[in-house]
Amino acid sequence: MPSGKITAAAIDKLPPGATLWDSEVRGLGVMKGPRDTVFVFKGRVHGRQILMRIGRHGRGDYGIDDARKVATGWRLMIRDGQD
């Protein structure tokens, strides 16, 4: 699983079926499908791994900064015991 800073250029270079994990916000990833590119969040709640969809990239949906804010918020909620 490659990791690095998620940027617009990095998303454009991502081949379909690949996932890029962000080096800035732990648990934030971007998955490129055949049609859509979606931001995802991976973490652990009560010892179980979760993978949640944040939303689609671009086209008025989520930008990179928006996805980072959501992932950071979810990470803090998990840390504080909320699920």
Confidence of residue 66 (pLDDT cuts 50, 70, 90): very high
d(CA 37, CA 17): 10
Q: Where are the alpha helices (DSSP H) in the chain?
A: 8-13, 64-79
d(CA 73, CA 67): 10
- Whether 64 contacts 12, CB under 8 Å: no
**Per-residue confidence (pLDDT) for residue 57, from 0 to 100:** 93
Domains of the chain: 3-79 (3.30.160.390)
Q: Are strands 3-4 and 19-22 parallel, antiparallel or unpaired?
A: parallel
**Per-residue confidence (pLDDT) for residue 61, from 0 to 100:** 82
